Structure 1
């Protein structure tokens, strides 16, 4: 009762309905406008915004204008419920709209409204095909008709083309390309090379649960030079394959594996070490753990496929192959060793961010999907977004039947094939959903045996996706599909199919996530069409083995004896078992994502400081004041070890040691007069050394043109920040792997990571300042001074196949500068 009383959906829809009524009341007013007048309205709204009206004030008119423009361009007028969804999106929430309710058209209204402030709107899609379809098709035409510019951000675009795309009023892009552009923008050498010049104003994320929940566990990584660890992967793989069953332990529920006591002894004997858990053996232990996971947890044709001598990831939530992407932290190389294909060199991480932290940078974030309610707590806690359930335009009349449960997988498959045969004889089209590529191939074999013609859509033949989906709703069509058919695919019914009961969706097992099951069900019964869905589940399914153990299996066996062999059990109690197993996995996955975020939050604070410093170097005309601050801090740090307190307010100064130290690290020989220094107290000493450094800087400034002097300081600062930051990122990545060992010593790995991370960061900041000081004082300025990238040919983990884009570099003729 109380939940209903304070429901975010109820409250938001109450506000939204009042606004939607205003939008609809303006319909006749907009209908009389000419095409030219509609375009002029956009300029009028922009001027009114600049004159002080808010976007909320403009909403009814703007939405009414979009409805009229859509009617003229696409011959589709947004329904009342689509306007409700558009209002929820403008308010920075998630509009949960069922399949076929027209989410794409809904997004045009808030995108148009929020583009009026001139700061840009990003519409985020799950793949480039969808981004291209919307930007270049009917939806893009609506924006263009209204007088807005539309950009399309693709992987292969040059830096200049990307900049043009980002400067458009509305930008269509995938989530990964936006994230990698952000990281690359903070690796450029000149401010003009940054592609996202206006920052991150407002994002509308399509399939928001897929992007912000399912993909949130994998950080985006840009990598640089290779590490030489190839042999260690092969050695660890041979070791893992040689283990006996009592030498490792698998936790089925959490899908984790570790060596038993016997396995640890074996490892110490094979690798000739005394203690595997010694901190010196962090790298070896990491390789062994990856080899164990690759050999005993990861399954070929489920989590990955091998194609053309390459290990390719299969997205567990969409069933698609993620070309160019790699499992992180060396797991990909462990799988390559397992499958006996070429082990690619592991690379050094030079920039990284999680989707959670990237999308939280937007001033306003919103989204839309058909399935978000089950994760509403996570959306609220991490992204501060409410999930608003938007009513359907027409009632949903699809029949969602309770699960059929069987004792064994064989019984389940037999029953499934029997149902397929019965429905196929009537001519009813069917979509058979599977979780893994392997299962889809087993079902295909069984259908062939029964002479039932069918299409198969999985990660191995994704290139025929559009063609297969186009025919999936026709009479007699039988389509087997992994999760690829679950999201963003619109299966339209053929002639005479409505009379047969619409599309029948048959699930071969429950997915870990209830949302994915709901996505599959949602392929049938769109826009008031009839439809049918049922899941076939067995006590031997992986989900139930992991989370209900033998208890569920034995209950099912008992009940199947009563029912008779091959007969389904339809029980609310057992269905609850399945739902509870899914809830537990969803809880575990949420914990994993929260954990990833806690670790990345340590790096986020550091990243914001460094990227802020870097941006100043790129955008400010002069950074002399920042260099002076670094010089002052460095000199204080360098002098203090030579000053010892010997009594109350009494200090002893090692003047000789200090002069030797300064003249071998920061200053030229014979800069200081030792006898003069001996006369000074500690404060006077620091003051004199600082003024000597600033005198050197002033001399450089006086001797060269001001633009050359400013560029000289920028080259030094940029070089030092990039060198130390990239090294720090990789050290933090190693640290994260290393702290896991601390859990064995009953210490909290996260606390150690936070403490050690802060120490390493403070050390890095000191080192940057020290090297900037050193080169500012000792380097000679050259007129042809030029900036240079610290890591050349850095690649995004998503963009392994991306062609190297040549940077335009000013030629540096003559002697190499001393700070290179």
Structure 2
């Protein structure tokens, strides 16, 4: 009601934005005749011409009408596609850093060219993010002629590209790629040991396709670069064996709603008996094994094969719960993936240690301007605004939407529901109406497929197991009599055209005949024209049959996923219908459905196969979905609150790293670190003595430990602190200048760069591990009536401060002792020079610090270092191996 009043008063922000866009569309349309008179050569000079105008002081907003007119003209000439007025409005929303919600089939890929081309004029690089590699490559190739026709360059980031190709791709005006490729390149850039290894050039403007899928559904998934730890995998097998012996309800309870498992007193005693470990859950030394037992129980009772993951070629591959795609290379964290591997009796991978990590939320918030497009964003408008500062603008459709959305049909059991779905598919198939059946898991898609096979109904199954055939199957789902069973139709990126997609059919036919579309254009054009006529004739029959029929086999936890499935029908004014079949046994109703729904159904006294259909029940189910959406929103907000603490530290470390990497000369910085460290050691011992005075002995030991012997000589009982400070700094300054003189300024600077980067990376890695441990246990502070978030902020600050102290001291330990030698393995210390290596020079503390040694038998990473430093090999001479 309130929304209605706001609309009547003309105060609705969406309506006001659309009104403003319509005026700008009129300006673009007025330029059409003038722009259409330009030659191809003049249009190709657009980038150079408009960049000159930007340098002269014009802004992008002022250039928008003419640039949009030129993009539309080039698209018409190169692709045969002319932007509709509503598509121009979508492009304006994207340029303003907003989310354009446009229905399926409204041409979002073409809309993107408007905002992308305009913002590419800045020359700082525009990133276009898609949900998978296929779409990134397809869109870059498909829209490439438009960009090149305006004088802009376009490239795509693909997996397994060479460093040179990746570097070049980021230097293009427009770069397409997936969210993980962009995110991992950012992390890798901040692990690089030389400038040449970095590929990105900043974060200026980013346009995210299927923005709800990437910024909301995947927001809780961090991007992690990790390395294997030293831990054995045997405890996972032991924990799995224990979990198999426990009984649900007696030894442990499962909370499916919160996705958690809790052992009972009987279960704890049973675990201790099986594992022959007393005090398993009270002895801190046994906490790791206890944690693995809990993860094993989760693997067995909360994660189902062919629903949450599949076993492919002896490996556990996660299935994306929102898109149904296989996520190769992704692993569950916190030992859960190993627990699932033990459950399925496949090879167990070593638990990994985090080397670099960032959440997608914080990665995309780095862009100066962020925009996105999707068919379903309005239901999450609050989250987009609160977390990303992005408004959602609902763009009207080019033609009226005439799809009929029927109320939900509710059954008592899943068996009755699936039988009803199969019956309706059989009925529609007889009439020739194409049907798309949406399921929430691989298991359910195969269940529907079995029922259809029993009825001898020909059909295609699209799920994570048939990922490679995705585009081809989706493209033909609108053919006369077609039946397609699909898992989660989110972001498939291919339109379902009524009557079939002639381009896909022509390519398939040409490939079977060995005809190359590029090498034999005339022959291919004949094939394409034949299929165009065939599809057009078939389209008329499909329209007469009622268009595409969408059947959902259950409601998803998020309304957006249901709307994405519905949105496959009724594109660009096409006829179509949608209906959801649900049962009281579905997870949504079982876990989140209100007692009113259950009570109402019980009173009905329904017979076998009977169903209930009412709009009020549909609204009640949508209310249950709202509850779940709010719960997930709260979880993501909580995640962000914790990650923001980590993000501030990451930004500080990466900023420091960039300065070290790009500094021309690091001699002054190196001296500054030495000076600060000496002062910090003296200050920390000035109040550490037995009588509250200066701790002479402690300070002497610390100075020798960090700098080497001899630097504690000025310490004395009768000396003033500032006098001691000056004398020690004089000693350090002379030793430092001698070292720089021995090495030469250029070599010294590059050596200090190498030391700083390695010490910083080593301690940052250890800090990430400490932060993981802190995050895991901080929730227990709530028992003591303390706010876990505030405690986390306080503790993490102390950890970060300790890490910075260790970095400074770690550098000082090496700075005055190292020298360049021409033996052993080369190290990446300087660019364009011969190999350099760290060692110790005689007379600079080698007798108590690092002694030169020659490689003998292989040294274990955790063994004492052969150089005699007393530290582990991996923290000493083995660093970087």
Smaller-chain TM-score bracket: over 0.9
- How far did residue 469 of structure 1 move? 1.9
Distance in 2 (alpha carbons) for counterparts of 1:375 and 1:499: 36
Corresponding residue of 1:544: 589
Query: Separation in 2 of the partners of 1:761 and 1:301?
Result: 42
Q: Does 1:482 align with 2:487?
A: yes
1:507 to 548, 552, 558: 552
- The 5-angstrom pairing of residues 383-462 of structure 1 reads 383-462=388-467
Change beyond 3 A, Cα 1:361–1:661: closer
> For residues 424 and 517 of structure 1, what CA distance do their matches in structure 2 show?
23
Residue of structure 1 in register with 2:356 after alignment = 351
Q: Which residue of 1 aligns with 2:22?
A: 17
Match of 2:859 in 1: none
Secondary structure of the equivalent of 1:216? coil
- Between 723-732 and 650-659, report the one with greater CA deviation: 650-659
Secondary structure of 2:449's aligned partner: helix
**Against the structure 1 CA distance between its residues 786 and 310, is the aligned structure 2 distance closer, same or farther, given a 3 Å change threshold?**
closer
| Matching residue of 1:698 | 737
The Cα of 1:255 is off from its aligned counterpart by 2.3
* Aligned: 1:329 with 2:334: yes
CA distance in 2, matches of 1:453, 1:175: 37
Of residues 496, 517, 534, the one that matches 2:579 is 534
C-alpha spacing 1:75/1:522, structure 2 compared with 1 (3 Å) = same
Residues 220-272 of structure 1: per-residue CA shift (max 9 Å, x gap): 00011333141121121112221122221222322222212322333344442
Q: Relative to structure 2, which stretch is displaced further, 270-279 or 33-42? A: 270-279
Map 1:303-702 → 2, pairs under 5 A = 303-484=308-489, 487-494=492-499, 495=538, 496-548=541-593, 552-559=597-604, 561=606, 565-644=608-687, 652-669=693-710, 671-673=711-713, 677-702=716-741
1:800 paired residue number = none
Instruction: Give the 3-state SS of the residue equivalent to 1:75 in structure 2.
Output: coil
* 1:144-174 superposed Cα distances (whole Å, 9 cap, x missing partner): 1111100110111011110000000000010
**Other-structure match for 1:795:** none
**310 and 337 in structure 1: CA distance in 2 versus 1, 3 angstrom threshold:** same
Match of 1:735 among 774, 777, 795: 774
- The C-alpha deviation readout for 1:553-576, integer Å capped at 9, x for no partner, is 342243253xx5423311233222
Which stretches in structure 1 are left out of the alignment for 5+ residues?
791-806
Contact 2:667–2:748 (CA under 8 A) maintained in structure 1: no
Matched-pair contact (CA < 8 Å) for 2:826–2:836: no
SS where residue 729 of structure 1 aligns? helix
Distance 2:802 2:210 in 1: 42
2:226 to 203, 219, 223: 223
After TM superposition, the structure 1 = structure 2 runs for residues 80-95 of structure 1, keeping only pairs within 5 Å, are 80-95=85-100
* 1:768 lines up with 2:807 in the alignment: yes
Q: Deviations over 1:278-307 (max 9, x none)?
A: 544442232122112111111111111112
Deviation at 1:784, TM superposition (A): 9.1
Instruction: Give per-residue Cα distances to partners, 1:370-427, cap 9 Å, x unaligned.
Output: 0011111110001000010000000011111111111121221222122112111111
**Residue number in structure 2 paired with 1:184:** 188
Cα drift, residue 813 of structure 1? 7.1
Separation in 1, partners of 2:586, 2:254: 18
Match for residue 525 of structure 2? none
| Unaligned residue ranges in structure 2 (runs of 5+) | 500-537, 842-849, 851-875
For the 8 Å contact 2:436–2:548, the answer to whether it is kept is yes
Output the CA distance in 2 between the equivalents of 1:809 and 1:389.
57
Paired residues of 2:820 and 2:836 also in contact (CA < 8 A): no
- Aligned partners of 1:313 and 1:668: how far apart in 2? 55
Distance 1:610 1:448 in 2: 59
Equivalent residue, structure 2, for 1:158 = 162
Of the three residues 248, 260, 264, the one matched with 1:260 is 264
8 Å CA contact 1:700–1:781 kept in 2: the answer is no
Partners of 1:357 and 1:702 in 2: how far apart? 44
Q: Which residue of 2 aligns with 1:757?
A: 796
Question: Are the structure 2 counterparts of residues 787 and 16 from structure 1 closer, same or farther at C-alpha, using a change threshold of 3 Å?
Answer: farther
Q: Give the equivalent residue in structure 2 for 1:710.
A: 749
Q: Which moved more, 1:262-271 or 1:466-475?
A: 262-271
Larger mean Cα displacement after TM superposition, 52-61 or 455-464: 455-464
Query: 1:191: Cα distance to partner?
Result: 1.1
Aligned mates of 1:572, 1:642 — CA distance in 2 = 75
Preserved contact between residue 88 and residue 94 of structure 1 (Cα < 8 Å): yes
CA distance in 2, matches of 1:439, 1:673: 77
1:454 and 1:673 map into 2 onto residues whose CA distance is 86
Structure 2 contact 490–561 (Cα < 8 Å) conserved: no
What are the residue-to-residue correspondences of 1:166-245 with 2, within 5 Å?
Answer: 166-196=170-200, 198-244=201-247, 245=249
User: Which protein, 1 or 2, shows the higher relative CO under an 8 Å CA cutoff with sep ≥ 6?
Assistant: 1
- In 1: Cα distance, 2:737 partner to 2:648 partner: 34
Is residue 719–residue 788 contact of structure 1 (8 Å, CA) maintained in 2? no
Equivalents in 1 of 2:834, 2:246: separation in Å? 56
Change (3 A) 1:419 1:645: closer
C-alpha separation in 2, matches of 1:9 and 1:243: 56
What are the Cα deviations for residues 357-380 of structure 1, in whole angstroms up to 9, with x where unaligned? 000000000000000111111100
Tell me, what secondary structure is at the counterpart of 2:65?
helix
**Secondary structure class of the residue paired with 1:246:** coil
Query: Whole-Å Cα distance in 2 between the matches of residues 680 and 787 of structure 1?
Result: 46
Shift of 1:460: 1.3
Distance 1:664 1:156, change over 3 A: closer
Question: What is the rounded CA distance, in whole Å, between the counterparts of 1:273 and 1:746 in structure 2?
Answer: 30
CA contact (8 A) 1:616 1:623 kept: no
Instruction: String of CA shifts for 1:105-150, please: whole Å, max 9, x gaps.
Output: 000011000010110100000001001011123x111101111100
State the distance in 1 between where 2:132 and 2:838 align.
47
Q: Is the 8 A contact 1:320 1:484 kept in 2?
A: no
